[in-house]
Amino acid sequence: MLQSLVAGFSSEAQEVCQKVTLDLLELEREGLDIEALSKVYTRLARHLHTLKGSAASLGLQDLSSIAHKLEDALAPLRKDIKPMPRPMVDMLLHGLDLFMLRAQAHAEGRGESLPDPTAALAQLVADAPPPEEAAGGTAAGAAPAHAPAPSAAPMQAAASQAAASMAEEDTGDAGWRVAAHQVTALMREVERLREFRMRLEDRLRDVSKAVELLTARELLAPTARARAVLASVTAGVRSDGHEASDIVDSLEEGLKSITTRPVRTILEPLQRMVRDLSRQLGKQARLSVVGAEVSLDRRLLEKLKGAMVHLLRNAVDHGIEMPDERERAGKHHEGALTLRVEQQGNILILELSDDGRGIDVVVVRASAERKGLITADEGSRMHEAQVRDLIFRPGFSTRTDVTDTSGRGVGLDAVRSAVESMQGRIEVVSTKGSGTRFMLTVPMELGSSPVLTVRTIDSQVGLPMLAVESTQLATPENLRIGRMKTQLDYNGQLVPVVDLGARLGLRASAPPSEGQPLIIVQSGGKRMALAVDAVVGDRDLVIRPLPAEVRDVPSYQGAAILSRGELLLILRPGWVVADSTPQTVAMPQSRRALVVDDSLTARALHRAMLEAGGFTVHLAASGARAMERLQTETYDVIICDLEMEEMNGTELVAKLRSQPGTREIPVILVSANDSAGARSRGLSAGADGFLSKRECAAGRLLSEVLDVMSRRGARA
C-alpha cells in the first residue's frame, strides 16, 4: 500500500469528518422541520458510507469497522425522522474522534502500533443508547441495530471507487511542496511589479506634460515630427502598461489562491468545541459564524485558530450562564456566541460576542488585587475600561479554583501576545448582564487592495474602498447644521458629518462648505460622512503594516508606497466612524501653543519640548497654514521659524500684529542664524522673543516661552 495514498485519505477523511460533525450539530438542534432533518440524515449516512468505503479500499479494516458501527447506530434513527438525542450525538462524535485519531496514525505510518480497536468499538457500542430509545421508542421491531458486515461485492465497488479517486489525485495533480518563504518572496516581487506599473503610469503622465510643452506656438512646427513619435511611443507604452496590469492581477490572484484558504476551515471545528465544552459544563451554547467565506493567509489562520479557541473557551466558561440562570434573567436558555469575520483592505476584523453575563469590573478588580497584579490604590484609580483591560494581564483569572477549563491564569494574555505577534490589536467591550465583545484586528500582509485617496489641507490619506459606500458633494439641502453637530441627509437617514482635517488634529472643526466632497464611510454597522478637501482618485495599492512606533495610533491601518517612493497613510475605517470629540478641543484647560516651521524635525522636537512642559501643541508647516489655524483657534503662544520659504517669520509676525484678533499673541522667533542682525530684525518686526537653535539646544525654549507669556500677561 502506498503511504502517500493513506496520507491523502487521511486529509480527505478529515474534511468528511468535519462535514459529519456539522451535520450532527445540525441534527441536535431544535426547530428544524422534518424535511430539513431528513436531508441532513441522508447526507450524514452518505458521508459515513464514503468513509467506510474509502478506508476499506486501502485495507484499513479498523477504520472501516468504526465507520460501519457508526452507520449501524444511525440506521434506526432514519426510520422515524426527529432531532437526534444528545447521547446519540455524543456517541457518534466520539466515534468520529476515534476514527480520525486512527486515520492520523495510519497517515504517519504508526498504524502497525495502534491498539486493537475491538475494545474501543465495544465501549462505543455500549455507550450508545439502545436503538429503540435512540429512535424515540418507535424503532421497536425495526431492523437490527447491528447489521451484518457489508457483503464483499459492494465493499469492492466502494474500494475501487475510492482507489480510483486516490489514483487520480496521485497522477493528475500531485502538487509541489513549497516553503512559505518562497511563496512570500514571489508575492513581494508581484507587489514590486505593481508599484513599478504605477511608476510607469506616472512617467507616462510626465511624457504627456513634456509633449504639451512642445505645443507652444513657437515650437509647434519644428517639433511636429518629434511629437508624433512621442505620441506613438506613449500609446505603445500605455498599451504595454495595461497588459502588465493584467499580468500583475492574474499573478496576484494565482498566488492568493495558493496562499489562502477560507476562514471556515478553522471555524467549523470550533463549533464542535463549543458544543462539547458547554455540554461538559452543563451549559447550552451555540456558535454562529458570519463571513466564514473570507479567505486568509494560511499561516495567519493557524495563528488565529489558537486565539479563537482561547476566546471561545473563555466565553463558554465565564460568559455564558447556566440555562436556568439565563431563563431567570429573561434570556433564551441557549447562549448565543457570534463570530463575525470581515476584511477591510489589508485589515482582518474578527469579532467574537456572547450574550452572557458580561465582565463584572468589581470582580475583576478584586481578583487582580488578590493576585497581586495591582495594588488597591491603583485599582481605585482605574476607570472601567482600564479594569477590563486587566483580563489580558499574565496570571489573571477570576477563578479561585483550577478546573479543566480555566483558573490557571493562562489564556487571554496568551491571546493578546498571539495577536500582537501578528502586529494586531485586541479590544474588549462588555456590559454587565448583557454580554461581552472581543474585537481582533490583524493586518494581512499579502496582496493589494483598492484604496480611495483623499486630501485634507495638504495631507493625502487613503481609505479602503471596501469601507467607502458612496461620495457626494455638500449642499445646503442635504446638510443639517446644528450648534453641536452637522448631519447629512443620506437616503432618508441622518448620518453624522465629521471633518477629516479636524479628526486628524490639523484644523478646527467646521461644517462643510458648499461643494465640499463628503465620503460616506461604513464600518461595523456604523456610518459617517467624512468631509475632505478633495478626492484624488482610487488605485489598487499594496498596504504595508506600520512600524512599531506608530502601530498603536488608532487612526491608521497601514501605509502604501506610491509611485515616487512616498507613503500614503491608510485610515482605519473603524476609527473614522467612531464617535469622538474633535482633537482640537482635547485639552481645553491646558495652555496652547502653535509651532510654525517648515522643517518636520523641528516641528517634532518643539512639540515634544512643549508637550513635556504641559502645553497642547498644534503644528503648521507654513505661515499661510498658521494664519488658517488662527482663524478658528486661539493660542497662548506662537513659536515660529525665522527662515521659511513661503512666508518668513518676520512677515508672519508683521501680519499677526496687523490684525486685531492676533495682535496680542506672544510670538517667539527661532532661527539657525545667530547673528545680531537676524535677532534685531525679528524683534523689530514685533516678535516677543528670539532664540537661536543653539539656545534651543541649550534648553532655553520652554523658559523663553513662559517668560514671553508672562511679559505679555503683565502688559495686558
Partner 1 sequence: MTSTTHGPEEVQDQEVRTLLEERASRLRGRSDGSADETMLMVAEFPLGEERYAIPLESLRAALPLRLVTPVPLSQPHVIGVLRYQGQVLAALSLAALLGGHGWRQDPAVLLVVERGDGELCALDCEAIPRPLSLPTASVEAARTHVEGPVTEILLSSNRQIIHLIDLPRLFARGAGARNAG
Q: Hey, which residues between 618 and 657 contact partner 1 (CB under 8 A)?
A: none
- Hey, which residues does 691 pair with through a beta bridge? 670
3-state secondary structure of 675: coil
- To partner 1, the closest distance from the beta carbon of 649 in angstroms equals 14
3-state secondary structure of 137: coil
Q: Helices (DSSP H) in 507-594: which residue ranges?
A: 548-551, 573-577
The reply to whether 548 sits near partner 1 by the rule CB under 8 A is: yes
Q: Hey, which residues between 457 and 476 contact partner 1 (CB under 8 A)?
A: 459
Total of residues contacting partner 1 (CB under 8 A):
48
The reply to whether 605 sits near partner 1 by the rule CB under 8 A is: yes
For 234-272, letters b (16+ CB in 10 Å) and e give beebeeebeebbeebeebbeebbeebbebbbbbbbbbbb
- Which class for 626: exposed (0-12), middle (13-18), buried (19 or more C-beta within 10 A)? buried
- To partner 1, the closest distance from the beta carbon of 687 in angstroms equals 18
Of 546, 577, 665, 705, the one binding partner 1 (CB under 8 A) is: 546
The reply to whether 150 sits near partner 1 by the rule CB under 8 A is: no
- To partner 1, the closest distance from the beta carbon of 566 in angstroms equals 5
Cell of 71: 452507520
The reply to whether 600 sits near partner 1 by the rule CB under 8 A is: yes
Q: Helices (DSSP H) in 458-540: which residue ranges?
A: 500-503
100 or 593: CB nearest partner 1? 593
For the chain, the first-to-last Cα distance in angstroms comes to 98
- To partner 1, the closest distance from the beta carbon of 16 in angstroms equals 43
Q: Within 10 Å of residue 274's Cβ, how many Cβ atoms?
A: 24
Query: Under a CB-based contact definition with an 8 Å cutoff, are residues 184 and 110 in contact?
Result: no
Q: Which residues contact 163 (CB under 8 A, 6 or more apart)?
A: 5, 57, 58
- To partner 1, the closest distance from the beta carbon of 603 in angstroms equals 8
The reply to whether 509 sits near partner 1 by the rule CB under 8 A is: no
Binding span for partner 1 by CB under 8 A among 72-80, 367-375, 517-525, 559-567 = 559-567
The reply to whether 261 sits near partner 1 by the rule CB under 8 A is: no
620 or 656: CB nearest partner 1? 620
| Location of C-alpha cell 510670538 | 667
247 or 586: CB nearest partner 1? 586
Binding span for partner 1 by CB under 8 A among 363-371, 464-472, 477-485, 599-607 = 599-607
- To partner 1, the closest distance from the beta carbon of 611 in angstroms equals 5
**What are the backbone dihedrals phi and psi of residue 592, each rounded to the nearest 5 degrees, phi first?**
-115, 130
Of 82, 303, 544, 657, the one binding partner 1 (CB under 8 A) is: 544
482 or 547: CB nearest partner 1? 547
- To partner 1, the closest distance from the beta carbon of 516 in angstroms equals 19
Query: Under a CB-based contact definition with an 8 Å cutoff, are residues 597 and 696 in contact?
Result: no
The reply to whether 219 sits near partner 1 by the rule CB under 8 A is: no
- x-or-dash pattern for partner 1, window 665-684, by CB under 8 A? -------x-x----------
d(CA 116, CA 428): 48
The reply to whether 545 sits near partner 1 by the rule CB under 8 A is: yes
d(CA 512, CA 532): 9
Binding span for partner 1 by CB under 8 A among 81-89, 225-233, 280-288, 550-558 = 550-558
373 or 672: CB nearest partner 1? 672
The reply to whether 482 sits near partner 1 by the rule CB under 8 A is: no
Say which DSSP state 570 is in. E
d(CA 647, CA 620): 12
The reply to whether 567 sits near partner 1 by the rule CB under 8 A is: yes
- Which class for 299: exposed (0-12), middle (13-18), buried (19 or more C-beta within 10 A)? middle
CA angle 243, 245, 249 (to 5 degrees): 120
The reply to whether 534 sits near partner 1 by the rule CB under 8 A is: no
The reply to whether 578 sits near partner 1 by the rule CB under 8 A is: no
Q: Hey, which residues between 155 and 214 contact partner 1 (CB under 8 A)?
A: 188, 192
Of 125, 439, 504, 683, the one binding partner 1 (CB under 8 A) is: 504
Cell of 138: 418507535
- To partner 1, the closest distance from the beta carbon of 542 in angstroms equals 10
Query: Under a CB-based contact definition with an 8 Å cutoff, are residues 303 and 339 in contact?
Result: no
- To partner 1, the closest distance from the beta carbon of 693 in angstroms equals 6
C-alpha closest to that of 486 among 528, 432, 434:
528
- H or E element in which residue 430 lies: strand 425-431
Binding span for partner 1 by CB under 8 A among 74-82, 164-172, 431-439, 543-551 = 543-551
For every residue of 484-506, DSSP letters joined together read: S-EEEEETTEEEEEEEHHHHTTS
Binding span for partner 1 by CB under 8 A among 17-25, 321-329, 362-370, 560-568 = 560-568
The reply to whether 122 sits near partner 1 by the rule CB under 8 A is: no
Of 601, 645, 660, 716, the one binding partner 1 (CB under 8 A) is: 601
C-alpha closest to that of 89 among 29, 145, 142, 4:
29
Of 253, 566, 651, 664, the one binding partner 1 (CB under 8 A) is: 566
The reply to whether 561 sits near partner 1 by the rule CB under 8 A is: yes
Q: Which residues contact 543 (CB under 8 A, 6 or more apart)?
A: 345, 346, 443, 448, 449, 451, 462, 464, 557, 558, 559, 560, 570
The reply to whether 559 sits near partner 1 by the rule CB under 8 A is: yes
- To partner 1, the closest distance from the beta carbon of 590 in angstroms equals 14
d(CA 375, CA 365): 10
Binding span for partner 1 by CB under 8 A among 40-48, 296-304, 345-353, 551-559 = 551-559
Using CB under 8 A as the criterion, which residues of the chain lie in contact with partner 1 when the complex forms? Answer: 188, 192, 459, 504-506, 544-550, 553, 555-556, 558-559, 561, 564-569, 583, 599-602, 604-605, 607-609, 611-612, 617, 672, 674, 693-694, 696-701
